[in-house]
Structure 1
C-alpha cells in the first residue's frame, strides 16, 4: 500500500506507552484493511524494539482475523456449507497465509485413488474397507489421541501434510472424501466421540422419521478407519451411563461439524499469552450460531 502522511503518523505512534492511544492507533490501522500488511511487515523488520514488534504482530493478526470473520460469515450464509472450505477457513485462524490449492490437490489425489478401487457391485462395508485401505494403509494416515496440547492436530492441512490427526480432523478428511465419492457417510452426535456412520443410501432426515439409528448400517472410527457395530455403540453408551437418545444418531450438518471443530480448538489456547485466541475462537463459534 502507498504510504501516506496519516499512515506514517500512525506508525510513529505504535510505540506509545499509553494503551488507550495504542488502541486508537491500531483501530485506525486495521481500518485500512489487509492491504496495509506489507507496510506493517516492513516496519516490523526495521524495528529493533521487541515490544514494538509484538504490537505490530498483534495488529497484523487483527487484520487477518477480520478477514477470517468476513469469510466465515459468507460461508455461514452460503446455500451449501462446503466442509472442505469450512475446515480450511478454520486452519487460516492459525495459518493466515495458508495456500489452499496444494491441500485441495492432495485430497483430490486421495479421492482418485479410492475411486479407482470402487465399483457398483461393492457393499457399503466393502466401500468402507476400500477407503480405509487407501487412506490409512496406502497413505499411512495415523490417528493420535484427542487432546488439547497441539492445535495442529485439528487443522486439515496439517493432517494432509503430516498424515496424522485425531478423530475429529481425520473424520473431517474422511467425510470430505466420502462426499466427493457420493458415499452416504455422516458424523453423528455420540457424546465425547466423533463417530462416522454409514447410512442407507436412500436415507433423508427430512423425510424419514423416527430414530435415525434404524437407517445406519455400521460405524467407522475415524482415528484408524476400523468399522464397528451398533452393539459396540450401545455398549459404549451403557458403560458411560448415557441414555441411548435418538439425537445421538442424528447426522450432523457441516455447519455443526465446523462449530464442533472450533469448540475443540478453544481448549487448545489456555496459556496466558494466547488467551486472546481463545476468546477469538469463541467469537467465531458464536458467529456460526447466528
Structure 2
C-alpha cells in the first residue's frame, strides 16, 4: 500500500496537467482592439447649442458693460471739449496745425495739402483727447480681454475640451478700442467738435479789434471822468466786457454744436459695439463647429 498510494497520486497529477494543457490550447485567441478616440462633448449638437447660448450671454454682458462705460464718458468729454478755456486752447492748436501744413507747402518742404488732409490734421488734437478720455478708460484697459479669457475658460471647462478654449482665445481677439477708434475716426465726428472752434478763430481778429476798441474806449472814458486813475478802471471794464462777450459766444457755440457732436459720438459707439458682438458670435460659432 505504501508504494501504491504515491504511484496513484503521480498518475492523477499527470492526468490533470494534460487536461489543463489541452484546455489552454483549445481556448480561442483574443484579438487586441484599438481604443476609439475620445469624442469632445461639444461635438454633440445639443451640448453645442447650450454652449453657444452661454458664450453669447457672457460676450454680450461684457460688451454692454464696457461700451456702456464709453457712453457715460462721451458727455464728460464733450463738456471738457466745449469748455470756454479748453476750447480756446484746442482752437489755437487746431489752427496751428492747419497753418503749419500750409507754411510747409509754401516753403516747398511738403506738397500742397488737400482740404481733406488739412481737416484730418486739424482734427488730430480732438481725436487724441477722445482716445485718452473715452476709448482707453473704457475699452483699452485690458478688462475686456480678461472677460474674453473667462469666456474661453468657461466653455472649455463645460465641454471638457481644452482645445476649444485655445480656439476661443484666438478667435475672441476682438480689439474693441481699435474698432471704436475706426468708427469715431470718420472725420465727421471730430470735425463736428472743431467746427465752432474754427468759427471762433475765423472771427478772432475781428473780435480782437472789437475788444481793443472796447478797452480803448473804456480807458478814455475813465480818464475823462476821474483822470489818470480812471484809466485803469475803464481799461479793466473794457477787458471784462470783451471777455464777457466772448464767453457768451462760446456758450452759443456749445449749445448749437455740442448735442450734435455727442449724438455722432454715441452713434460711433453703437457701430463699434455691434461690430464686436457680431464678430464675437461668429468666433464662438466657428470654435464650436470645429469640435470633434
TM-score category, normalised to shorter length: under 0.3
Q: Compare the two structures and name the one with the higher strand fraction.
A: 1
Q: Compare the two structures and name the one with the higher helix fraction.
A: 2
* Bigger Rg, which one: 2
Flag the structure with more relative contact order, 1 or 2, with Cα contacts below 8 A and sequence separation at least 6. Answer: 2
TM-score by length of 1: 0.26
TM-score by length of 2: 0.26
